[in-house]
């Protein structure tokens, strides 16, 4: 090795002028930036995401329609006369009439509430049930985890649609919309439980839990104060996206004649009855389908946007 | 010969290089006006902290800038050819062949789904390498041979001399060599041959040279070499490359998957890969930072020998000034995207001129030679005890570990794994005891048992004379008040959903100390103590740097006024300057408050700055226990000597001014 | 590898037992007496009813009935239908082939198009065709399958006469093409999204950069490193979906009037043929579980880290 006394060209001793390379304090704190938590950070990202803005506006609008249908129509969706059967659009009836002669516009407006209720209620139950079971399995581990995981496996082996069909056909006489919510929740909680379990497991192994234990915290306190808040994000993201799939599934079940009892106005039910007129009057099928698709799309887009904001790694843009 | 012909052409010339990244906040300059040269056969080091632009500079040479990074100015010349404007297609032709990469993190740089040999084969195939013979860089271009040597070398060399030995004829060659050398060569020589004549790595010329050197007739040697050394197969060459990189049992190991390799082995595979196509320039981006010091030293030693013999130039990226000075002839120091100082390594190290370099040299633990002196007054711990009136009740020993054993179940194995094997030591009041060891030494397991986070299989840990593992819930809570931890990972030990205020307040809340108001006052006081502005209270950990988080972790540990702090690799993840800052903080706190530290680290250099006593652990056993001076000046065991030896730059003489 | 396989098979047993028990319990909790239903409008002869109950073990406690069911199922004896008294196994044998054909066609459709579009999208993020692919896949997910089915039936069948409108009794390849596309459409959309995310995130991994540094051509890097690794989760998803497709065939079969297992199940439910329902669902669940097992095996074969864990 050459221990160069005289340096090679371009390797002479060089010291940058100090004015051009000012030194800063070691590890100075930047006190100007606004305070951000993971959630505040996510919110800031979301606000700039057009996908999120569109989705959020659509959802707000849909929610408004669901709560105040009368603002949009003063017609009764269940007031149907066969005189109007398959009537074309007229003033005051922009979408026309269906086979029974009900006003399609009014039915689409009132169907919003059913779909949204089903989607939101199912998602809430699923998140609670799946979240708690998954959290218990992940947190306690050992034999509790083994048993719960096997139960999850058993429910997971029944495809959602099949399971729902089998159960719903027993309650065909019931007229409550809760039956469909409960049945979907019964087979839907497993996917949330799996996610909750793995994210609790992940959060449990993070060092701040050990740190808190060493500070004197109890395992239970750790679970509620540290683990659950940190494991929440993936569960919420999947929950939002699956809300859309519950709305779609409810429609599918209605299509099979197993969904909403006839007294309820439901998009799925209307699509189902419209199928017979597909060849002659496809628009009867179009309106409720479009309403359904827009609603589902908005929730999927919201879920995507929230996921991207919370986990920049999986960003789709 | 004129002066001019003696000056070689640089293999890499970087001039006024500018690199920018596009972010949502606009363009960010990552590298500004970087200028440096690398000559054939030379090691040049770029030194800097994280974010200094050192890796970015190196990656722009390879045309592999991540994300939105792009070159906005300056020039990069490889062998005199401008490459800064090259398209990816053009880069493909020179990557691997002209310049190779040994990347930083051995865990993520190998594709987990392919066997090691497949991944090396790719490098050979992509560059159309003739695997039957060595692709030697023209030695004349290297700096490592005198003119006479070069002529002698070239005279005896022709192309067939570079043919590799194949595994099929290896045993026949050894047999023939043994027969020819009967009565002339000793058994030892023969054993050396058996070991060194690796298929796919040793050439006809090497074999002939070895035999002639051992005394076999020149003609006979040539005859044997020509008959048996006739070129290698692909798998021979792959095994040969891995062997050259220092991987034991290379032929068998080549068939394994990355996850079956240890970190050190993966790094060797990456070195074999980077050098597979015999590039003229090797870019080594912190190639050993993730490894234990002794492994690091072995791998770098090996890489050095290998690149010297091949004449490869190395652009070496590191954060460790000592390491850079030890390995490279020329050093480039970068700070915030700019080069602040460059020059011959020893000169820069011994006479740093830029204030940043001075700061870096002063903070480098590997170069420091004594314990930190606190500017604050050292508390008189002992005299305080006298005053308290019960001197006989307070012993010198705060924590005592006796015959500690911890066994773990290993999945898939019947016998238990002894992580900690019969370890005993005492920690004296107001002092620092450091436990040093490499990964797998059991040092962190000991720390967790002292913290009552793990139960020992046998043996005891006593705090103030009482066995902590016999404590009931109330006693345990009281113990936790007095013994506090600071953990390794500054990104993991603070809950990201908690504000800094809540994080520091948490221990006060758990132990139900004070009301809202007094707790807030205490948090403010603690932030002052760790020299953090009080305005960070409302912030979240993700907004702070690693060093700042670690200071918050120290503040949290101090909240309850503990007697003992167990610091598990508390400064290991930090940049040199930040590490130095945290070490000073810990040292000042100890001086002011008479704290007792149990300091767990893999870094002996840090130990010298902070510890009074050292315990060295290896494979779960305590191998040495003495005062810090004793361990550094007069190590008793080979392992400790190896550890000391492996401190990068430890042996450099610093005539500091 | 074999040890792993054996462990997975053993783990499958309690799942199958539990799942069949669950379905059995759900179906036989049905209100109404199936034996009484058999008599239809005729008056119930108690003696004969009793005889039938004994024959079908309907007088036994529930759990015993389940074990009889399980025992018979192991010998492919699922009993007879209540109406018409046909062996259940025959009914299933008549209906399954067409569903299997439909399912496989849907599978091939979603696998090919899902993966291709996903790769194109993931490699060329931000290009206009990426956006188009993304929007179409979002639409396919948010529109229920039966609406997609109606729309395709209306345009491709009724309006433009590209495909037969319904499949009919003995459907051939062309007849099943549109139903298969409908059946596979939602999964295809999910596969596009999954492949796109995987490809895009794998592109920036360290070992991909290292592969480029070795001098590999862009093509080899994409094929050997990015795609190979990205497709592991996609293959897993596909495998699990193959099992689910059979169960999901009901919608497609209803719309296009195919006499497959889905339609048979649907009719069985409407007619209260509990024995037939349980048998069909059991077989469908078994297919699902076996497909999942196959996926695990495939996963292990594709990813050495699993194999040796």
Selecting from C205, C207, C213 the residue whose C-beta is nearest the C-beta of B95 gives: C213
Please indicate whether, in this complex, the C-beta atoms of C147 and A150 are within 8 angstroms of each other: no
Q: Which of C257, C260, C76, C114 is nearest to C192 (CA)?
A: C114
By C-alpha distance, which of B283, B253, B279 is closest to B265?
B253
- Give residue-wise pLDDT tens across range B241-267: 998 888 888 888 899 999 888 888 898
Query: Rounded distance, CA B216 to CA B182, Å?
Result: 9
Which residues on chain B place their C-beta less than 8 Å from a C-beta of chain C?
62, 64, 66-67, 88-89, 92-97, 100-101, 103, 105, 108-113, 122-123, 126-127, 257, 259-260, 270, 273-274, 276-277
Q: Show the tokens assigned to A41.
A: 């950070």
The pLDDT tens digits of the residues spanning B446-472 come to: 999 999 998 999 999 999 888 999 989
> Per-residue pLDDT averaged across B314-328, rounded?
89
Distances (CA, A) of B32 to A135, B15, B45, B271, B330: 50, 10, 18, 30, 20
pLDDT of residue C237: 87
Are residues C269 and A158, on separate chains, in Cβ contact within 8 Å? no
What does the mean pLDDT of chain A come to? 81
Written as six digits, the tokens of B203 are 């050439």
* pLDDT score for B143: 46
C7 in B contact zone (CB under 8 Å): no
CB B456 within 8 A of CB B469: yes
| Calpha distance B556→B561 (Å, rounded) | 10
Q: How far apart are CA A289 and CA A296, in angstroms?
A: 11
What is the predicted pLDDT for the residue at A314?
A: 46
Counting as contact any 3 or more CB pairs under 8 A, the partners of B are: A, C
Contact across the interface for A293 and C139, Cβ inside 8 Å: yes
Residue C219 class from Cβ within 10 Å (0-12 exposed, 13-18 middle, 19+ buried)? Answer: exposed
pLDDT (0 to 100) of residue A316: 39
CB B33 within 8 A of CB B337: no
Question: Domains in chain B, please, with CATH?
Answer: 12-127+262-363 (3.40.50.300), 147-232 (no CATH), 373-491+563-646 (3.40.50.300)
- Residues C145, A158: C-beta atoms closer than 8 Å: no
Single pTM value for the model: 0.83
**For residue A70, what are its two tokens?**
């009368």
Report which DSSP code applies to B3: H
Judged by average pLDDT, the poorest of A270-279, B168-177, B209-218, B553-562 is A270-279
Here the tokens at position B149 are 């040597």
CA distance A141 to A129: 18
The two three-digit tokens of residue B379, written as one number: 């508390």
| Residue in chain A nearest B476 by alpha carbon | A216
pLDDT band for position B629 (cuts 50, 70, 90): confident
For tokens 């469908």, the residue is: C284
Using only C-alpha atoms, what is the Rg of chain C?
Answer: 24
- DSSP code of residue B8: P
Element (H, E) at C155: none
Q: In whole angstroms, what is the distance from residue B347 CA to residue B329 CA? A: 10
Distance separating alpha carbons of residues A134 and A148, to the nearest angstrom: 8
Residue among C204, C215, C305 minimizing CB distance to B277: C215
* Residue from C109, C88, C94 nearest C280 by CA: C88
Contacts of residue A314 in chain C, CB cutoff 8 Å? Answer: 197, 201
Asked whether residue B348 carries a pLDDT value surpassing 80, the answer given is yes
Of chain C, the end-to-end C-alpha distance in Å amounts to: 9
**DSSP, res B403:** E
For residue B145, the model assigns a pLDDT of 57
Pick the CATH number of C91-306 from 1.20.1440.230, 1.10.3720.10, 3.40.190.10, 3.30.70.890: 1.10.3720.10
Q: Is C43 on the interface with A (CB under 8 A)?
A: no
**Predicted interface score ipTM higher than 0.90:** no
DSSP B303-340: HHHHHHHHT-EEEEEES-HHHHHHH-SEEEEEETTEEE
CA nearest B163: which of B211, B236, B227, B230? B230
Minimum CA–CA partner of B550 in chain A: A27
Enumerate domains of chain A plus CATH numbers: 58-311 (1.10.3720.10)
| Domain ranges in chain C with CATH number 1.10.3720.10 | 91-306
CB nearest to B540's CB, from A18, A36, A212 = A36
Of B324 and B157, more confident: B324
Whether chain A has a CB inside 8 Å of the CB on B344: the answer is yes
- B12: β partners: B38, B78
Tens-of-pLDDT digits for all 309 residues of chain C? 677 788 888 888 888 888 888 887 877 665 555 566 556 566 667 777 777 767 666 667 777 878 887 887 777 777 777 777 788 888 888 888 889 889 999 999 999 999 999 999 988 877 888 889 988 998 888 888 888 888 888 888 777 877 777 777 777 777 888 889 989 999 999 999 999 989 988 888 899 999 999 999 999 999 999 998 998 889 888 888 888 888 788 888 888 888 888 888 888 877 777 778 888 888 888 888 888 888 888 888 888 877 655
Mean pLDDT of chain B: 85
Give the per-residue SS3 of B78-138.
ECCEECCCCCHHHHHHHECCCEEEECCCCCCCCCCCCCHHHHHHHHHHHCCCCCCECCCCC
Question: Distance (Å, rounded) from C-alpha A145 to C-alpha A200?
Answer: 12
Query: In this predicted model, which residue has the larger pLDDT, A84 or C254?
Result: C254
Rounded distance between C-alpha atoms, residue A134 and residue A34, angstroms = 35
pLDDT digits (tens, 9 = 90+) for B174-229: 888 888 888 888 888 888 888 888 888 888 888 888 888 888 888 888 888 888 98
CA distance B94 to B103: 17
Q: Which residue among A154, A170, A300 sits closest to C18, beta carbon to beta carbon? A: A154
> Does residue B571 carry a pLDDT above 60?
yes
pLDDT of B188 reads: 86
Q: What three-state secondary structure class fits B622?
A: strand
Strands B564-568 and B596-601: parallel
Question: What pLDDT shows up at residue B385?
Answer: 43
Residue in C26, C288, C289 nearest the CB of A167: C26
């Amino acid at each position: 090795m050459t221990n160069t006394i005289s340096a090679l060209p371009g390797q002479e001793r060089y010291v940058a002028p100090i004015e051009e390379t000012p030194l800063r304090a070691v590890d100075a704190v930047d006190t100007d930036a606004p305070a951000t938590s993971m959630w505040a950070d996510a919110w800031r990202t979301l606000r700039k995401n057009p996908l999120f803005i569109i989705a959020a506006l659509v959802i707000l609008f849909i929610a408004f329609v669901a709560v105040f249908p009368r603002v949009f129509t003063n017609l009764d969706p269940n007031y149907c006369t066969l005189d109007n059967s398959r009537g074309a659009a007229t003033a005051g009836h922009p979408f026309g009439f269906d086979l029974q002669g009900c006003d399609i516009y009014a039915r689409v407006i009132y169907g919003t509430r059913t779909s949204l209720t089903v989607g939101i209620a199912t998602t809430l139950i699923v998140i609670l049930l799946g979240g708690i079971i998954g959290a218990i399995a992940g947190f306690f581990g050992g034999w509790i985890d083994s048993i719960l995981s096997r139960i999850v496996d058993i429910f997971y082996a029944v495809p959602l649609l099949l399971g729902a069909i089998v159960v719903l056909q027993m309650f065909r006489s019931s007229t409550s919309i809760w039956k469909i919510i409960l049945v979907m929740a019964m087979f839907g909680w497993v996917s949330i439980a799996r996610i909750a379990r793995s994210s609790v497991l992940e959060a449990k192994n993070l060092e701040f839990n050990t740190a808190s234990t060493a500070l004197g915290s109890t395992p239970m306190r750790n679970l509620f104060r540290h683990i659950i808040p940190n494991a929440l994000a993936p569960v919420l993201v999947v929950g939002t996206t699956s809300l859309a799939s519950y709305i779609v599934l409810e429609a599918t079940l209605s299509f099979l004649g197993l969904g909403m009892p006839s007294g309820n106005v439901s998009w799925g039910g209307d699509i189902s009855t419209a199928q017979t007129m597909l060849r002659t009057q496809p628009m009867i099928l179009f309106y409720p389908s479009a309403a359904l698709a827009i609603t589902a799309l908005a929730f999927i887009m919201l879920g995507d946007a929230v996921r991207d904001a919370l986990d920049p790694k999986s960003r789709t843009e | 010969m004129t002066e001019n012909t003696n000056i070689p052409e640089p293999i890499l010339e970087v001039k006024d290089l500018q690199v920018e990244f596009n972010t949502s906040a606009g363009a960010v300059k990552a590298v500004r006006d970087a200028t440096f040269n690398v000559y054939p056969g030379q090691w040049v080091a770029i030194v800097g902290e994280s974010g200094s632009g050192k890796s970015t500079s190196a990656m722009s040479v390879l045309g592999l800038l991540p994300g939105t990074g792009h070159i906005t100015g300056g020039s990069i010349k490889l062998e005199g050819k401008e490459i800064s404007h090259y398209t990816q297609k053009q880069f493909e032709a020179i990557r691997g062949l002209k310049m190779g990469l040994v990347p930083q993190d051995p865990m993520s740089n190998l594709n987990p789904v392919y066997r090691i040999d497949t991944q090396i084969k790719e490098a050979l195939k992509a560059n159309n390498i003739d695997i039957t013979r060595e692709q030697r860089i023209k030695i004349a271009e290297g700096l490592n041979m005198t003119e006479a040597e070069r002529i002698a070398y070239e005279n005896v060399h022709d192309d067939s001399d570079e043919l590799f030995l194949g595994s099929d004829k290896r045993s026949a060659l050894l047999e023939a060599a043994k027969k020819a050398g009967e009565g002339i060569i000793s058994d030892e020589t023969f054993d050396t041959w058996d070991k060194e004549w690796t298929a796919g790595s040793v050439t006809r010329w090497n074999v002939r040279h070895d035999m002639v050197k051992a005394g076999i007739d020149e003609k006979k040697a040539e005859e044997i070499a020509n008959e048996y050394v006739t070129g290698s197969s692909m798998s021979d060459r792959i095994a040969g490359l891995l062997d050259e990189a220092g991987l034991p049992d290379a032929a068998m190991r080549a068939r394994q998957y990355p996850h079956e390799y240890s970190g050190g082995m993966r790094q060797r595979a990456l070195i074999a890969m980077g050098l597979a196509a015999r590039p003229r320039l090797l870019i080594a981006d912190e190639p050993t930072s993730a490894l234990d010091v002794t492994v690091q030293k072995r791998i770098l030693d090996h890489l050095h020998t290998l690149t010297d013999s091949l004449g490869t130039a190395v652009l070496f990226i590191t954060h460790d000034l000592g390491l850079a000075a030890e390995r490279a002839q020329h050093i480039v120091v970068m700070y915030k995207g700019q080069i602040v100082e460059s020059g011959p390594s020893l000169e820069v190290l011994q006479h740093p001129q830029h204030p940043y370099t001075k700061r870096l040299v002063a903070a480098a633990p590997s170069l420091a030679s004594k314990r930190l002196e606190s500017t604050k007054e050292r508390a008189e711990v002992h005299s305080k005890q006298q005053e308290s009136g019960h001197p006989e009740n307070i012993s010198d020993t705060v924590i005592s570990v006796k015959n500690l054993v911890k066994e773990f179940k290993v999945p898939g194995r019947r016998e238990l794994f002894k992580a900690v094997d019969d370890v005993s030591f005492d920690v004296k009041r107001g002092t620092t005891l450091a436990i040093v060891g490499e990964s797998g030494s059991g040092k962190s397991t000991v720390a967790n048992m002292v913290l009552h986070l793990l139960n020992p299989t046998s043996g005891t840990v006593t705090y103030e004379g009482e066995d902590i593992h016999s404590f009931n819930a109330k006693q345990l809570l009281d113990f936790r008040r007095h013994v506090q931890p600071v953990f390794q990972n500054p990104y993991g030990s603070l809950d990201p959903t908690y504000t800094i205020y809540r994080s520091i307040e948490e221990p006060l809340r758990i132990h139900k100390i004070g009301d809202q108001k007094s707790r807030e006052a205490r948090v403010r006081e603690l932030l002052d103590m760790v020299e953090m502005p009080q305005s960070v209270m409302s912030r979240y950990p993700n907004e702070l740097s690693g060093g700042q988080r670690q200071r918050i972790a120290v503040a949290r540990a101090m909240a309850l006024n503990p007697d003992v702090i167990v610091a598990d690799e508390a400064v290991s993840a930090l940049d040199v300057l930040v590490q130095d800052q945290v070490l000073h903080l810990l040292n000042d706190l100890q001086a002011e408050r008479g704290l007792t530290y149990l300091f767990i680290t893999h870094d002996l250099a840090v130990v010298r700055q902070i510890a009074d006593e050292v315990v060295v652990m290896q494979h779960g056993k305590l191998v040495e226990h003495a005062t810090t001076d004793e361990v550094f000046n007069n190590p008793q065991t080979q392992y400790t000597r190896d550890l000391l030896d492996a401190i990068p730059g430890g042996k450099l003489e610093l005539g500091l001014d | 590898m074999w040890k792993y396989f054996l462990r997975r098979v053993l783990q499958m047993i309690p799942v199958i037992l539990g799942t069949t028990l669950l379905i059995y319990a759900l179906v036989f909790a049905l209100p109404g007496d199936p034996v009484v239903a058999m008599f239809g409008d005729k008056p119930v002869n108690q003696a004969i009813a009793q005889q039938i109950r004994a024959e079908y073990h309907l007088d036994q406690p529930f759990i015993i009935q389940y074990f009889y069911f399980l025992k018979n199922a192991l010998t492919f004896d699922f009993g007879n239908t209540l109406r018409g008294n046909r062996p259940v196994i025959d009914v299933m044998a008549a209906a399954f082939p067409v569903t299997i054909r439909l399912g496989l066609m849907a599978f091939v459709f979603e696998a090919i198009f899902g993966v291709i579009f996903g790769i194109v999208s993931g490699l060329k993020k931000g290009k206009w065709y990426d956006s188009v692919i993304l929007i179409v896949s979002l639409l396919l997910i948010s529109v229920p399958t039966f609406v997609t089915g109606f729309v395709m039936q209306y345009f491709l069948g009724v309006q433009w006469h590209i495909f037969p409108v319904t499949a009919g009794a003995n459907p051939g390849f062309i007849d099943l093409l549109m139903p298969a596309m409908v059946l596979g459409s939602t999964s295809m959309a999910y596969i596009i999204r999954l492949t796109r995310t995987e490809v895009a995130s794998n592109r920036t991994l360290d070992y991909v950069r290292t592969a480029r540094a070795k001098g590999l051509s862009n093509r080899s890097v994409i094929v050997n490193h990015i795609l190979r690794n990205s497709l592991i989760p996609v293959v897993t998803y596909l495998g699990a979906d193959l099992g689910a497709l059979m169960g999901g065939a009901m919608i497609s079969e209803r719309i296009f009037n195919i006499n497959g297992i889905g339609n048979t199940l649907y009719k069985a439910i409407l007619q209260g043929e509990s024995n037939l329902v349980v048998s069909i669902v059991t077989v469908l669940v078994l297919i699902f579980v076996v497909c999942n097992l196959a996926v695990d095996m495939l996963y292990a074969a594709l990813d050495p880290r699993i194999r040796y864990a």
